[in-house]
Amino acid sequence: MYEESQAKAAIIARKSRREPTVNMTPMIDCVFLLIIFFMLATTFSPLPGMRVKLPPPSQAQSQTKPEHFILNINNPEAGEAEGFMQLNDREVNMVDLSANFMAGTEKQKETLIIRSGRRVKHEQIVTVMDKAKRAGVKKIGFAMVASAF
């Protein structure tokens, strides 16, 4: 009896001598799919932006030194897209804003402070910032009213 079982075991051992293998193919399929997904979903392009500076809270009200550019933008009138602008107390429009910035002194070109109404559109602010940057203004800040939130 014992011998018989020994012989059977020997036969089984001989049959299964082939090395065990792991079937990788389905896993590789999945991994490739994941790679393709991540490759498509990843965005490496940089984000275009424009830096802004905020005045320290204590200076929020005192940033009115005349040696800087100070641009006041009023809330747009009903039906109008853009608000009325004043650069250092002189009325300006969007067309000749660049020329006005360029005509400023070196000291003035250091900083531009934008004092804008709450209802002015963000696009107008960005356009002003764009013109100022291209005219050589180094820092652009916003005047804020210290609110008690």
Partner 1 sequence: MRLKKPKEKEPPKLVMEPMVDCVFLLLIFFMVANILKPTLPFSVELPDSKSREEYVRKKFNVYINANGQMSVDDQAMRDYDALEDYLLPRVNEIETLMIHADKNTKHGDVIDAMERAKHVMIDNIAFVLSDEEIE
Query: Which residue ranges make up the site for partner 1 (CB under 8 A)?
Result: 24, 27-28, 31-32, 34-35, 38-39, 41-52, 54, 57, 73, 116-127, 129-130, 133-134, 142, 144, 147, 149
Shortest distance, position 14 Cβ to partner 1, whole Å? 16
**CB closer to partner 1, 11 vs 41:** 41
Neighbours of 60 (CB within 10 A): 16
Residues forming a β-bridge with 72: 86, 115
CA dihedral 39, 41, 44, 45 (to 10 degrees): 130
Shortest distance, position 4 Cβ to partner 1, whole Å? 31
**CB closer to partner 1, 23 vs 105:** 23
Report which DSSP code applies to 56. Answer: -
Q: Take residue 89 and report the two structure tokens written for it.
A: 């107390």
**CB closer to partner 1, 1 vs 39:** 39
Helix (H) or strand (E) holding 126: helix 122-134
